[in-house]
Every structure is written in structure tokens, then in C-alpha cells.
Structure 1
Amino acid sequence: MLLLKQPSVLPGFTLSLGVSVLSLSLLVLLPFAMLVWTVTDLGWQGFVRVISEPRTLAAVWLTLKMSLLAMLASVLLGTLVAWVLVRYHFCGKDLVNALVDLPFALPTAVTGVALATLYAPTGWIGAIFARFGWQIAFTPTGIWLALLLVSLPFVVRAVQPVLAELSGEYEEAAAILGASRLIIIFRVLLPEVLPALVMGSGMAFARATGEYGSVIFIAGNVPFKSEILPLIIVSKFELFDLPAAAAVALFMLIISFAILFTLNLWQWRLNRRTQGRY
């Protein structure tokens, strides 16, 4: 018989556990179960037929590719922003810190319209690139830019607390011992920050794969060129083809879950290795 041990002297463990499990079941498990149940109306052959459509596969590839590129860029830029916010003191630091959370607060449609207006061929920045024959808006580059904007805060907020707890004395000691800047980064800082960095990159990727509102205004939504997978799902839903929309959503869910599971497994191993050192 499995006995649940109360991990705290505070009362209400059983009630809290029951409410938590019920909430997760209603908000997470039940919708996913309904998604799978809806796809069963198509059957296995129908499911394969829907997800193997050339237009759907092109949208899947574009969504995954842009999400991975946005995640990698978020890791580099997010770590740099977190480093600046933690290690340096400058005028306007609080404002910069607040700007990091702005993509969380803004409606995604507002973000998309702002990006499209700014980077369109007639926009302030887009017009500069247009002089050299480069177009950002209404291309995959615009999709990458929108995904980078919405995913960057996840990396910053994951890495920033770890850097704040990591004393600068470690870097000073390494420098006194003759370590170069690259050695300090890769041998002193990176092992401590890497678990949080993996967690932040996983959340950034998850947000990027499901982003819709900020992308459709700057993507151009041209099939086989700049059409993302969420738009395919919405299009099928608007045609009242709910089983097909559920099939595409389930296919994307399986791919995203596999990638996120890999990242979480990596983070778990990094945490065990870090705890083992102490």
C-alpha cells in the first residue's frame, strides 16, 4: 500500500494535493485527451494523409526551423542581457530591466503590428534594408525576428537569478590565477549557468513553436514560403474541419514534446552533476 508522507508541518497536504491534481487534469490532461479523441475520427490513414500534405509539411519545417534559430539567438542575446543587468550598474538599468518583460505584457497582435510597421519596406528600419535589396517583413526573416522577440525574456529571466547568486569573486580568482576571458566564461561561468540556460531555452522554444499573433502580421503567410503551422491549424478550423486541425495540432505537439523532453532530460542530468560536485 502506497503511503503519502506529509512533507511539511503545515496542515492541508492532502487537500492541496487533490486540488493540484484536479486542476492539472482539467487544464492540461483533459484538453490533450480530447485532442487525441478528436483525431481518432480520422483513423490512422486519415491522420497520415493530413500531416503528410506538402503544405503542412512545409509549414512544420518552417516553424521548427525558425523556432530553433530563435531559441539559439535567444540563448546568446538573453545571456548577454542577463549578464549586463547583473554585473553592471548604469543609468536606466531599471528601465532596461522592465523592457525585458514588455513582450509578456503586450498583446501579441500589438507586437506583430509594431514589427510589421517597423520592418516593412516602407518602415523606418525596413526602408534602410530595402535600399540594399534586403527585405525583412513578409519573409522567414520576419518570422525569426518575431519569435526572437517573444522568446528572449524566457532566457533572460531564467539566467538572471543564477548570475545574481554567483559571486564575482570566482571570476576575479580565476583572473588572478591567469585564466583568460574565454576560460573564465567556459570553465567558471558556463557550468553554473548551463542548467538554467537549458531550462530557459526550452521555454523559449515552446513559446516560439506556438506563437501566432505576433507572427501572422509580419510573416506574409505565403504557402510554402512564409506560412507557419499555427496558421494551418487556424485555417482548417475556420473551414470547420476540426479533425484535420486536431491532427495537425497533435503532430506538432508530438514533435515539440520530443524536443522539450530531450532538453528537460539534459537539464536533469546537469542538475544532478552540479549537485554531485557539492
Structure 2
Amino acid sequence: MKIKEYRTQFIQELTPIYDAGEAESFFYLILEEKNQLKRIDLALHPDLVFSEGEIVIWNSILEQLKKEIPIQYLLGKTSFYGLDFEVNENVLIPRPETEELVEWIIESQKSKVKSQNIRILDIGTGSGCIAISLAKNLSNAQVFAIDVSKNALATSQKNAENNSVNVTFIHQNILETEDLQQQFDIIVSNPPYVRNLEKDEIKKNVLDNEPHLALFVADDDALIFYKKIAELAQQHLSENGQLFFEINQYLGKEMIDLLEKMNFKIIELRKDIYGNDRMLSCHCEERSNRI
């Protein structure tokens, strides 16, 4: 069967679930990954064909896409901040909004002395996308990353190796942590923050496939991770250290109130590319003033 003919069939079968543009993008992502062919190759060689074996593989992927299994899981990889990351059912698929958080952290370091080493801690690292991107782009950074899931850490460790960076990964439940053992110049976290009451807003492909451990918190204690991490930051952020969070878009005011009550300073809330309150940064009090 000609690849161009299969392409038409592929898009037609997916358009009841996805829009045509998204279905087409899926086709070319798979074509490059499974057949090492790009869009231009198909344009220049319109008579290229799939073998029977290749059609079996493509049909299997097509059926899984119809079940709304994320294409990143089907391909086993995704791109984040210009780097390739392996992803699977043990980790969340990195989002564009989180790239904005990484960019903010990197920008915050541009005016500082590059020869001065900094320590960064990423809490709830998942695929390792934040920690690894920071390690790749901040040559003076010593990066540590925590996660409660051993399976997630196995994935993040592999991603660090694939991207040729050194990150110290730690298996730890942050909610049960009383001491981080050392000081950090930057603490960053994109913890679980979706309330159960917001499940109706979550797309089926996310709800049915991505790890709920990394997504959801109880409705009556939605800031549990932020409060715990902020408490640890009070003791383990260095002088002039900075705390960064990705947050629930509906809880920006509540986050600011929480951090103000804990005496954090220079609190800044930023919107993401979609206009939602999504990122927050703050500083601790001077060490002499801390509890």
C-alpha cells in the first residue's frame, strides 16, 4: 500500500477523536520514528509503500490512538526544552507550561556570577525533565532530584544518561521528609496539584493513562505539597535562595496567601502561554530572621 494512501486512511479514522491537524501531526511523528522518513521524503517520493509487516505495526498504533493512549507513550519519547526524554506510564508527559518554568529559572541565573557553583533541588522529578534541563543549561549547577516512585526514578536516571548530564537522584517521600540534609540555592517543584473536583476538566487520554500519583490531591488539602516544601525551604534555602513552583491555575491567590503567612518575600506569580496562573517564585527571609 502506498504510504500516501495509508496517510489518508489514518487521518480519516482518527478525525472523530482528534482534529485533522493533530491526526496529521501524529502520522508524521510516527513516520519519522518508525520508518525514518520525514514529510519532505513523502513529498519527493510519492510512490513509497508500506510493507505488509509495516502496516501491521501502523494498524496497532492506530488502534491504540483510537483508545486515546498518548502518542508520547506509544513512541516512548517526547521533546522538552530542546532535549529528548523517554516517557512511560510511570511518569507524566512533560508539558509546555513546565518549559516556561525552566526558562524562568535559567533566566534568573543570567545576571549572577557564572563561576559560582549553585545547588538545585527538584522535588517530584518524574521523568527528570526539569532537573535534567537545568543541569544541561546551567554548567555551574549541581542538581539533585527527589521522587517517591522508584519506577519514575529509573526513567529519570536513564534520561539523565541519555542527555549526558549528572543529576543525583534520591528515592524519598517529601511528605515524610523532615530534613533535606544540605542547603540549596534553588528549590523547584511541580508537585501533584489537580483537585479531584477538577477531574472533569482533565482530558480522557491523561486521566486514563498518566499516573494519578503525580496528578491529584485531595480537595480539602490541595496545597499539601506546597506547604511541606515551603516549610523545608525555610530551613534549607541558602541566603538569597529562591523557591520556584508550578501551581494549580485556580489557586494562585491561595498560594500567595500561604507563602506570605510563611514570611516568604518577593513573591511573583506568572501566567503561562495559555493565560493561566501557572508559575510562582519567592525568596526566604534573611537567615537571621528565619524561625
TM-score range with shorter-chain normalisation?
A: under 0.3
Query: Which protein is richer in strand relative to its size?
Result: 2
Q: Which of these two proteins has the greater Rg computed from alpha carbons?
A: 1
TM-score (normalizing by structure 1): 0.22
TM-score normalised to the size of structure 2?
0.22
Larger proportion of helix: 1
Q: Which has the higher contact order (CA 8 A, sep 6+)?
A: 1
